[in-house]
Structure 1
Amino acid sequence: MTLIGSQSRRDFLRTATALGLTAATGPYMIGSAIAQEAPKKGGTLKIGMRGGSTTDTLNPTSYSNAVPLLVGYAVMNGLIEIDEKGVPQPELFESWEIGDQAKEWIFNIRKGIVFHNGKAMTADDVLYSLSLHTGADSKSAAAGGLKHIKEIQKLDTHQIKIILATSDVDLHYTLSDYHLLVVPDGFSDWARPIGTGAFSVESFDPGVRCVLRNAGNYWKAGRGNIDRIEITVVNDVVQRMNALVSGQVDVINDVDKRAVDLLRSAPGIELVQAPGGWHTIMAMQTDVAPFNNADFRLALKYACDRDQILNALFNGFGRVGNDQPIPVSDPFYNTDLVQRPYDLDKAKFHLTKSGVTDAKVILSASDAAYVGAVDMSVLFQASAGKAGIDVSVKKEPQDGFWSNVWLKAPFCTSYWAGRASATDMLASAYYSGANWNETHWKSQAFDQLLDAAKAEVDEAKRKTMIWDMQAMLSDQGGALIPVFSDWLDAHRSHVKGHTPHTQFDLANGRLCEKVWLSA
């Protein structure tokens, strides 16, 4: 089977299913139609962003914040791009062929692409860039989904073969991961990364500001239109929204959904909304007491008033979660899984069954994760208290949260943006060897199901396996997932090309190369 920027039968079925949901839940812009205008060149774009920290770097293996992700896609290119419909499209990989049983994949590398330093991109650069995420000692968040790579061979200057230890029909989705960006062979100066993207870095002050300038002669037609981009970290949501309304910035991410009417009433402001896989988590490390007790975890899950959190903190922009990470828009979403309610009687039952007599826990929370993370924790504190569970909320500083608290605190708020495929999401966060397995979930049965699902070409059989994994996580896992929330960005009306995307905010992190200014 050969894919050349098109869809296999399997992808067609997946996309058809997703499109069937689009009429009811698809992405859209509020305030204007998505006009088909010819892009214009020039101008300076000013972006105010949540998701920056003084601990940020531009090393793609380390991305855990929104600002490095946006800068990464501006300066570098990925291997495969996921479009607005969730379909893999060629990027630096121009085409690919799937071998027998999906254990061998051949990728053809786009020719004529030049790095900012003038070097022509070849297979050696791709091999090096992948090695940053596949080495035994790699700390990359993408490493978990690539552990089954047995060998990567260079076939010629613009072709490689990836040989897998186990079959994987979703490998092309996995290779779209935003960490998998291409740099020159041997490159390591992450303060000033060199890529093949539309922009180069003029300055980068982590957690404060980043300035990009157009690198010229971008290879993607119609993209890379802005001359200069100024990204300012504005983690405070009130300041961020005020900066947009006052015209200090042209675009912001992570609009406060509780205050969205203020932007709706402001002249010249447009909202960009998209449902997707973004979900909030209260992550319990399942190997640390008392979270190593399955009944205690269930007690916490039943003690969460999800509807209250959705309405009070997200203003209804989303849907309640069910303690598993696959969204309703995914074709492999388990529709048979019964929604867990807020049920104090069941919470008390499982608390008693757990045998935990001193039900006191500390929940580490910071709005570095998302706007309202601390408020959500306080709401959960109140609802859990009614079940006899004493939750203390520890408010953590925003700066350094991802480096100093996340993956370290045994009970912690965080979020996931979702992934391009269900198997990739499950592998990234719940596979035993995943670097970002924040709940420390380790289940041999789960791992075996995931391996089998990635290898299975029969849609019905894959569906059963992925449904079973969702049920396992919902009932036994350490992720308390109250809400799936829509992405919500905003921009001033002279910004064009800022379209919604279900996978991530700011046009799936590719805002810099996609937009242009009308005036």
Structure 2
Amino acid sequence: MIKTALKWTAALSIATSLLASSALAARTDLIVGVRLEPPHLDPTAGAAAAIDEVVYANIFEGLTRIDETGAVKPALARSWTISDDGKTYTFTLHQGVKFHDGTDFDAKDVVFSLDRARGEESINAQKALFEPIETVTAKDAHTVVITLKRPTGNMLFNLGWGDAVMVAPESAETNKTKPVGTGPFKLTKWTKGDSLSLTKSDTYWGEPAKLDKATFKIVGDATAQLSSLLAGDVDAFPIFSAPEMLPQFEADDRFAVVIGTTEGETVLATNNAQKPFDDVRVRKAMAHAINRQSIIDGAMFGYGTLIGSHFAPHHPAYIDLSAVYDYDLDKAKALLKEAGLEKGFKARLHLPPTDYARRSGLIIASDLKKIGIELEIINVEWGQWLKQVFKGKDYDLTIVSHTEPMDINIYARDDYYFQYKDTDFKAIITALNATSDEAKRTELLQKAQVKLNEDAVNGFLFQLAKTGVWNAKIKGLWANAPVQATDLTKVEWMD
């Protein structure tokens, strides 16, 4: 009887221990909330950010990849060399890499992917990224040589975009609905209008993912996002749509509220060819008259980072120029007087249909009125904005976030809607394009930032915040968004 009791006690102790271990084991699944459903899942055939949010680094990989700081890292290419003239890139590929359908990845797939992206029939949304490429050749199964028409210092970064991921000829045409990549996850189910399910790939060539399963749950409404997090139906919203609701999560220790930056430089875009904005003194006067912190507080509920040029604060080459044009109405009035406009003037402010633009526009109009600049606010839809402002250049001022990564070179385009034409700035960008040396590139990128600030080309307002909310036990999600992605490769639950 005693022996039987002892056996039962031992068995109960073991069972209790096993249950405790099971209860303490970290989860290996994750439910990620996203606002928009992707139109399809081929990042080489569409511009929608919602595509890369799901597939970048998770399902598809490129020769290089962009990390959380915006720096270029190796991916399918484990190393590379660049010729002295900057026109020949030789990539050494990882060996033993397979696509999710079991086919091998090798140099022939690189040739196919890049020729497809830049070919005449290409529907790649960023085809211009590949224009500098002259030829792509497979030296052997694991070596690829890319020859350029001219030095292009940003080529390694360009190859890290979602638009430059590697695809196979066997599956390229069906990637929109059945994506086949080389990444640590593969798609297992897509329930249209509801969710997309990914599972860990057992044949992944690199470091395996910590998660066994990830589900991207589509929750478009801000109130529904709030409810789903509070109920535990969704574990994380890497981009939470309603910053005004964040204080509720900040007060709840079950959640982490993580504020980072995006590639969204939000600017008071200025028509530099339109009088009186062709006078740098007028542009500087406006810069001193705008209380940018009040815009962040009033229009963005306190979320955003002050900027002084067109460059993301999370990038290693960033320099903080946000204090150069301090809020000083006396300086602003003095500059207008120097420009012969002490009585002020009238101008048009075209506002696209985003909350940040419409709310910011009201604050800016109030600020500029204090120095005699009266703005006529003209609200337009995106179609009209693209036609009249962006393409037609028929505007004085507008407010928009430029979300493309590393796009400071747009200021070197004569036909761009800012109409900023400066030979010194163009020379900086030309030199930048001609070098791949990181130290030299950093020096030139910083010169470019300073030049745009000195010329007050636009009113540099703030960097759009990446407002993330997730379960406090989750680690590995990006705070910043240098590319439009939800990278799950390092995500795990803490015990």
Q: One fold, TM greater than 0.5?
A: yes
Verify the 8 A CA contact 2:238 2:486 in the aligned structure 1.
no
Q: Which amino acid aligns with 1:450?
A: I
Residue 263 of structure 1, CA deviation: 0.5
TM-score (structure 1 length as normaliser) = 0.73
Partner of 2:259: 273
Q: Relative to structure 2, which stretch is displaced further, 209-218 or 134-143?
A: 134-143
Residue 185 of structure 1, CA deviation: 2.9
| Equivalent runs, 1:81-480 vs 2, <5 Å | 81-84=65-68, 87-135=71-119, 142-168=126-152, 170-185=154-169, 187-189=172-174, 191-192=176-177, 193-197=179-183, 198-200=185-187, 202-203=189-190, 205=192, 208-214=193-199, 216-217=201-202, 218-223=204-209, 225-234=211-220, 236-255=221-240, 256-275=242-261, 278-284=264-270, 293=278, 300-314=286-300, 316-327=302-313, 330-331=316-317, 333=319, 338-339=324-325, 341=327, 343=329, 344-345=332-333, 348-349=336-337, 358-367=346-355, 372-386=356-370, 387-394=372-379, 396=381, 407=390, 412-417=398-403, 419=405, 424-427=406-409, 429-432=410-413, 439=418, 441=420, 443=422, 445-456=424-435, 465-476=444-455, 479-480=458-459
Partner of 2:11: none
User: Structure 1 regions of 5+ residues with no counterpart?
Assistant: 1-37
CA deviations on 1:377-433 (whole Å, 9 max, x unpaired) are 322232234332314152648xx99999995585654334574xxxx4423x43429
Partner of 1:19: none
Q: Which amino acid aligns with 1:108?
A: T
Partner of 1:493: 472
Distance 1:209 1:408 in 2: 36
Q: Which amino acid aligns with 1:324?
A: H
Distance 1:121 1:348 in 2: 62
Question: SS at the partner of 2:211?
Answer: coil
Distance 1:402 1:42 in 2: 45
Question: SS at the partner of 1:225?
Answer: coil
Verify the 8 A CA contact 2:314 2:480 in the aligned structure 1.
no
| Equivalent runs, 1:18-97 vs 2, <5 Å | 42-43=28-29, 45-50=30-35, 52=36, 56-61=39-44, 65-73=48-56, 74-84=58-68, 87-97=71-81
Q: Number of aligned pairs?
A: 459
TM-score (structure 2 length as normaliser) = 0.76
Distance 1:346 1:62 in 2: 52
CA deviations on 1:3-46 (whole Å, 9 max, x unpaired) are xxxxxxxxxxxxxxxxxxxxxxxxxxxxxxxxxxx996753x33
Q: CA distance change for structure 1 residues 242 and 478 in 2, over 3 Å: closer, same or farther?
A: farther
CA deviations on 1:315-348 (whole Å, 9 max, x unpaired) are 5555322243253863352769933545452675
Partner of 1:9: none
Verify the 8 A CA contact 2:67 2:482 in the aligned structure 1.
no
Q: CA distance change for structure 1 residues 340 and 280 in 2, over 3 Å: closer, same or farther?
A: same
2:470 is equivalent to residue 514 of structure 1? no
Distance 1:268 1:402 in 2: 42
Q: CA distance change for structure 1 residues 293 and 440 in 2, over 3 Å: closer, same or farther?
A: closer
Question: SS at the partner of 2:373?
Answer: coil
Distance 2:334 2:133 in 1: 44
Distance 2:277 2:333 in 1: 22
Q: CA distance change for structure 1 residues 273 and 390 in 2, over 3 Å: closer, same or farther?
A: closer
User: Structure 2 regions of 5+ residues with no counterpart?
Assistant: 1-23
Q: Which amino acid aligns with 2:430?
A: D
Q: Which amino acid aligns with 2:187?
A: S
Residue 493 of structure 1, CA deviation: 3.4
Distance 1:403 1:62 in 2: 22
Q: CA distance change for structure 1 residues 335 and 402 in 2, over 3 Å: closer, same or farther?
A: closer
Residue 71 of structure 1, CA deviation: 1.5
Q: CA distance change for structure 1 residues 336 and 395 in 2, over 3 Å: closer, same or farther?
A: closer
Q: Which amino acid aligns with 2:109?
A: D
Distance 2:346 2:304 in 1: 35
Q: Relative to structure 2, which stretch is displaced further, 490-499 or 339-348?
A: 339-348
Verify the 8 A CA contact 2:308 2:321 in the aligned structure 1.
no
Distance 1:279 1:417 in 2: 7
Distance 1:291 1:135 in 2: 44
Q: Which amino acid aligns with 1:251?
A: A
Distance 1:309 1:210 in 2: 36
Residue 98 of structure 1, CA deviation: 2.2
Identity %: 20
